[in-house]
Structures are given as structure tokens and as C-alpha cells.
Structure 1
Amino acid sequence: MLPPSWDHHPTPVTALTPDPLTPTRDITHAHFQAGDTVVVLKGVAGRELWGDAMRVVAPSWHTPTDEDGWRLRDATGGAQSYVTAHPRYLVHLSRRCPDCLIHLRAMEDALLARFSDRDELIDCGWYTTTALGQLVHITDLRSGR
């Protein structure tokens, strides 16, 4: 298994693709701790998964899901350095935990074959950021938000 690519890449090509796993992922708030390095998987880069690497900073209420979330910091900055995200969106980078490795492998199985003939950076279109700085998966969007 190749390590996923978490580096920031040029502007991705958007290829709206259903996310078969993240919306139903059963991961608790306690699975992550302040200081953990995580990735939010967003798509495929060549023959690897791609996403945004961030550091877990502090607990924060995730308004789009009305559940405990985490405040995340993107060390590379960008348009928005801090976001709040639901734990099911996150995969550990700082440690190799079984739950995250299982999710990572399942995402690879679901996506890599689908895009094996494409070399560009592909954003599957799963996430948006609300006006309140909350990272939200498209399945968690509520009408009017």
C-alpha cells in the first residue's frame, strides 16, 4: 500500500463522486485528541488518495451536525487556517490506529480503481465550508445553510 499524498497540490479537477463510506462512519469524538495530525480525504491524486492535512486543536461544537466536533488548524494557511469538523471526516496521520487504517483502505478500494486512468488531482466534491468556518460533508448539509 502506497502512503497517501497529503501535500497541497495545484487546483484540482472536480469530479462529483458519491462518498460510499464517510457519511455512515461510526467514529466517536474521543477517538481524536488535541495535537493529533489528521487528514480530511477529498479525492485522488494520481494513484493515491488525496486530502488536507491538519492538526487537531481543541473540541468545538459542529453546528451542521449538532454533535461534538474538533477545531482543526491547517499549518499551511490558505484562505481559512481554522475549521471545525465532525470526527467521521478525519483520519489519523500521526499514528497508525486500526479504525483509521480500515477506513483508509476501504476508501482506497472504493476510489482508486474508479480513477485509475486519470493522473490529475481529482476533488470528489464531498466538502464545503460554511460561513461559520465549519467543514461540512455534502451529506450533512441542511437546507438553508
Structure 2
Amino acid sequence: MLPPPWTPPPAPVLALTPDPLTPIRDITHAHFQAGETVVVLKGVAGGELWGDAMRIVAPSWHTPTDEDGWRLRDPTGGAQTYTTGHPRYLVHLSRRCPDCLIHLRAMEDTFLPRFADREEVIDCGWYTTTALGQLVHLADARGGR
């Protein structure tokens, strides 16, 4: 008997929701190290925050913010395997870190109640990827890019 065909998960529902916390997060480049696993939070799914898990590869200049950033690799591949992100966009997955836990808790307290009655995967529209392959929070985008 053949296994059932694989069905991809449903695409996230876009619900543009301002994120006032990440753009003001005070986290330095040195907080993260190459080889660590991080998540870029993107929204809410089934009462929890969700995002893209990435592996930090190397330091990289983050053009949208003109600050030190990190080159990130998406271990699942896809159309955009590597991106560059600012440290304030990242939350540790590979270790329990007080700074990241505080940020995660603030994000949960702010956004989970807004979507408490919804079960689908919700993309809050906080990030875009530039033509240079750089992940940028919409609050950091220059001139709407």
C-alpha cells in the first residue's frame, strides 16, 4: 500500500499587525555567535508565536539598518536559503538566554491575546526580504522598501 500523498501545510493568513517591540529592542551583535540556532518571530499559530528557525553562519553588514548583522541559513532550504538579519530580529533557540526570554515573553503578552480566538497560522507581516536578500523589519525599511 502506498503512503498518502504529502500535503503542504496551509499558507499563513496575512494579518498586518504593527510590532512596536522588535524595532526598539536593544540587543548587540555580540549577543549571538556563529553556529547558534535562532528564530525570527513572524506571527501566531494556535495560541503560540511562530517563526522561521535559522542557523547563524557569519557576521554580515545589514544594509537596511547600516549596522552589524548576521548571515543566516535556513536549514530547510527553499527559494531563499541565506538571508542577512539584524540581531534585534533574532531570538535564541539553541540556549535559554534571559534577554531572549524577556523579549519572547513581551511578544507573547502583546500578540497572543489579539489572536486568542484564531487557530490558523497568522503572518503578522513584520518582515520583508530586500532585493539584496536581507531580512528587514518593516519599521526598519527605508522608503517603504
Larger Rg: 2
Q: Identity of paired residues, percent?
A: 84
Instruction: Normalising by structure 1, report the TM-score.
Output: 0.93
Do structure 1's residue 110 and structure 2's residue 128 form an aligned pair?
Answer: no
Matches of 2:99 and 2:69, distance apart in 1: 18
Give the TM-score normalised by the residue count of structure 2. Answer: 0.93
Structure-1 separation of matches of 2:109 and 2:42: 15
Q: Distance in 2 between matches of 1:117 and 1:71?
A: 36
CA distance in 1, matches of 2:20, 2:67: 21
- Matched positions, count: 138
Runs of 4+ in 1 over 6 A off after TM superposition: none
Gaps in structure 1 of 5+ consecutive residues: 1-7
In structure 2, the partner of 1:142 is: 142
| Counterpart residue number, 1:93 | 93
Give the Cα separation in 2 of the matches to 1:131 and 1:95.
32
Q: Which runs of 5+ in 2 are unaligned?
A: 1-7
CA distance in 2: counterparts of 1:104 and 1:144, whole angstroms: 27
Question: Deviations 1:20-74 (Å, cap 9, x if unpaired)?
Answer: 2001000000000000000000000011100000000000000000000000000
Which residue in the other structure is 2:122 paired with? 122
> CA RMSD, aligned part only?
1.2
